Every structure is written in structure tokens, then in C-alpha cells.
């Protein structure tokens, strides 16, 4: 039971930034919850608090670092890498598919393990998921690997009765293991949001695969200091349809428009007066020759100052060339 005077004691949440320091240098600080690094070859780092994604960085090499305002504990247990402070847990694993009969089974087993562990450790509220898997577009029709991934994830969520879907990103890399890492909260229940211009991914029609993707467009974690928004991977989709197939600039415009619409929608739902803009951006570009276009569009839409990390990654629909995710903070609004 939460005592009445405890309900205000929601801890400060977390801060996230990009850094040009090496993961090893960053991990020397006790206040680091986790470091995400980028670069070819997706394999276990063998270190808790450090995930490598296998996605090559385009441009200046940076890693992502999450700082905690309160004490961090961490460790490795049953091939799961965990770290936590009093409100958030980061939990993830690498999966070598050769240990399973197929991708769907590997994803089912991984998600079941992760969801169970979050509950065992008392961080039951799923907030955000990142999924990076090799050869995401390989396979035809329902056998396409992204669709098999969605099937395994959906079965695990059903099996674990995980009916609140978190914000998520699912991107392909060249080779190596699957890596999945999650953020979950202990006391604060996240709120999940959809985009009025996009059909909810969990309602996509049958043509996109045997089971629709299990994610929300954005999730918000709130405490007495404000609200933090975690934006899912966002692409050039209206309704359920891809717009501007194979046209990079066209897709970039629709994607940035989708982000604006979503942030406005969340602000109005939460009765926050000023709609925030993204403060930390990740741009996944299918073809590295589109990097210059991507940089120009990000500067135009979000301004020259906003930290942005450009990665080479494959988007889950063949015709899509770019996807964007990110984070921002909401100021105190009138409705609080």
C-alpha cells in the first residue's frame, strides 16, 4: 500500500543526452543508468548498463547516456542486463537466433522473460521499448522478419497479459544478434497516446501482417517536476498507408508533420498550454547517401540547436526511407 504522504514522493525521473565520450569513460560515473552505443556488430557488451545496437552512426560518433538523480544499482542475471534507480528500470538482452527454432520463437521467449523480470523486480509499468534486429526486411509476405517479430512480441504480450503497449522503436541492422531493451517504471503509471492522423499501429489491417504491431505512438511519465514524453519511431504513414514511397524529402515532411500533430494532441490532452518540441532526436536513415537531406530537414523542422543523432537503419516497411524517434520535457501547464 502507498501511504498518503508517499504519493507525492515520486522521485526525479531521468535525464538523457548524447555524448562524444566513450562508453567506458561514461560508465565510470555512478549516476549513469545506461549507455547506448552505436556501431556495427550487435553482440552482448558483457557489461551491465551498456547496450550496443549494431546500427552504424552517420556523421559525428556519439553515444546516448541516461543519468539518474538517485542511486543506481545494476547487474546481469540470466543473460538479462538490468539497471535501476528508485523509479525506473532499464532491462534488456541480446538474442542469438540460432538458439531458437525461428525468429518468432526467439522474440516470444525474450519478451516473456523481460516482462516477467520487470514484474518480479517490481517495475511493472512498461514505458518504452527499443528493438533492433538483423535483416528486418528479409522474407516474403507473412514470412518477412519484421512481421514474424510482431507475431512473437504480440504472443508474449498476450501471454503476460501486457495490455498496455509502450512507445517503441523497431529498426533493422546488418548482422548479429537481436537486441531488445526496455524502460519500465515502479510507481508512476505511464500514459500512452495515439496520433489523430495515424491509425493506431495495434489496429493496422491484415495486409501488414498476421498480428499488428504492439506499440503506442508516445508514452508520458509524469512527476512533480514535470512530464517526460517518449516518442515512438515515427514514419511517413497517414492512416495505415505509407506516403511518398521511396521519396526521401516527401517522407521527411510527413514524418515531421506527424510528430507536430502528436505533440499538439498530447499537449491538449494533458492541458499543457505550450506544445513542446523534440529536445533529443534520433533519425534512422535507410540509405546513407540521404544523410545530408536528413540533416537539412531536421535543422529546418526542429532548429539548428536540437541534439540529433543520425543512424543507418532499415525501416520495417520496404518503401520507407526514414524514421524518427526522440524525447522531450513538458513544462508545468495550467491543468496540473
Binding site for ligand 3EB (CB under 6 A): 131, 168-170, 201, 213, 215, 232-233, 235, 237, 316
- Bridge partners of 181? 92, 130
| Separation between Cα atoms, residue 57 and residue 88, nearest integer Å | 27
Q: Which of 105, 198, 108, 125 lies closest to 165, judged by CA?
A: 125
Q: Could you tell me the smallest distance in angstroms from the CB atom of residue 92 to ligand 3EB?
A: 15
Residue 323 a catalytic site member: yes
One of 64, 87, 144, 323 is an active-site residue; which one? 323
Query: Buried b vs exposed e over 47-83: b needs ≥16 C-beta within 10 Å?
Result: ebbbbbbbbbbbeeebbbbbbbbeebebeeeeebbbb
Match 522473460 to its residue by C-alpha cell: 113
C-beta closer to ligand 3EB: residue 72 or 167: 167
Q: Could you tell me the smallest distance in angstroms from the CB atom of residue 215 to ligand 3EB?
A: 4
Instruction: Name the helix (H) or strand (E) containing 117.
Output: helix 103-120
C-beta closer to ligand 3EB: residue 32 or 263: 263
| Separation between Cα atoms, residue 35 and residue 17, nearest integer Å | 10
* Cβ(327)–Cβ(228) below 8 Å: yes
Match 520495417 to its residue by C-alpha cell: 316
Q: Could you tell me the smallest distance in angstroms from the CB atom of residue 296 to ligand 3EB?
A: 22
C-beta closer to ligand 3EB: residue 76 or 199: 199
Q: Which residue is nearest to ligand 3EB (CB)?
A: 233
C-beta closer to ligand 3EB: residue 228 or 251: 251
Q: Could you tell me the smallest distance in angstroms from the CB atom of residue 308 to ligand 3EB?
A: 18
C-beta closer to ligand 3EB: residue 85 or 232: 232
Strands of the sheet with 73-77, listed across from one edge: 73-77, 80-84, 88-95, 178-185, 125-134, 167-173
Q: Could you tell me the smallest distance in angstroms from the CB atom of residue 276 to ligand 3EB?
A: 20
Q: Which three cell numbers stand for residue 56?
A: 552504424
Between the CA of residue 305 and those of 49, 229, 277, 279, what are the distances in Å? 28, 19, 12, 9
C-beta closer to ligand 3EB: residue 42 or 272: 42
Q: Could you tell me the smallest distance in angstroms from the CB atom of residue 274 to ligand 3EB?
A: 26
What are the residue numbers of the active site? 323
Amino acid at each position: 500500500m502507498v501511504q498518503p504522504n508517499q504519493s507525492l514522493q515520486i522521485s526525479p525521473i531521468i535525464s538523457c543526452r548524447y555524448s562524444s565520450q566513450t562508453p567506458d569513460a561514461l560508465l565510470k560515473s555512478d549516476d549513469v543508468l545506461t549507455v547506448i552505443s552505436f556501431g556495427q556488430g550487435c553482440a552482448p557488451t558483457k557489461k551491465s548498463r551498456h547496450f550496443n545496437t549494431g546500427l552504424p552512426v552517420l556523421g559525428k560518433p556519439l553515444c546516448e547516456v541516461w543519468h539518474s538523480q538517485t542511486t543506481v544499482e545494476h547487474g546481469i542475471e540470466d543473460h538479462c542486463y538490468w539497471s535501476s534507480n528508485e523509479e525506473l528500470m532499464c532491462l534488456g538482452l541480446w538474442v542469438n537466433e540460432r538458439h531458437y527454432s525461428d525468429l518468432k520463437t526467439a522474440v516470444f521467449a525474450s519478451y516473456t522473460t523481460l516482462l516477467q523480470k520487470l514484474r518480479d523486480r517490481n517495475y511493472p509499468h512498461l514505458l518504452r521499448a527499443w528493438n533492433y534486429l538483423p535483416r528486418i526486411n528479409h522474407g516474403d509476405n507473412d514470412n518477412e522478419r519484421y512481421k514474424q517479430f510482431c507475431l512473437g512480441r504480440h504472443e508474449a504480450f498476450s501471454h503476460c497479459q501486457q495490455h498496455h503497449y509502450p512507445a517503441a522503436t523497431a529498426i533493422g541492422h546488418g548482422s548479429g544478434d537481436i537486441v531488445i531493451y526496455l524502460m519500465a517504471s515502479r510507481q508512476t503509471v505511464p500514459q500512452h497516446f495515439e496520433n489523430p492522423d495515424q491509425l493506431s499501429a495495434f489496429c493496422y489491417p491484415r495486409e501488414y501482417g498476421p498480428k499488428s504491431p504492439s506499440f503506442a505512438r508516445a508514452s508520458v511519465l509524469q512527476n512533480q517536476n514535470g512530464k517526460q514524453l517518449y516518442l515512438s519511431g515515427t514514419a511517413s504513414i497517414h492512416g495505415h498507408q505509407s506516403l511518398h514511397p521511396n521519396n526521401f524529402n516527401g517522407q521527411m515532411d510527413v514524418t515531421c508533420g506527424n510528430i507536430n500533430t502528436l505533440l499538439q494532441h498530447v499537449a491538449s490532452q494533458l492541458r499543457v498550454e505550450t506544445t513542446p518540441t523534440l529536445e533529443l532526436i534520433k533519425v534512422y536513415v535507410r540509405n546513407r547517401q540521404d544523410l545530408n537531406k536528413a540533416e537539412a530537414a531536421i535543422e529546418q523542422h526542429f532548429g539548428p540547436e536540437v541534439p540529433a543523432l543520425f543512424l543507418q537503419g532499415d525501416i520495417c516497411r520496404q518503401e520507407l526511407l526514414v524514421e524518427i524517434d526522440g524525447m522531450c520535457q513538458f513544462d508545468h501547464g495550467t491543468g496540473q
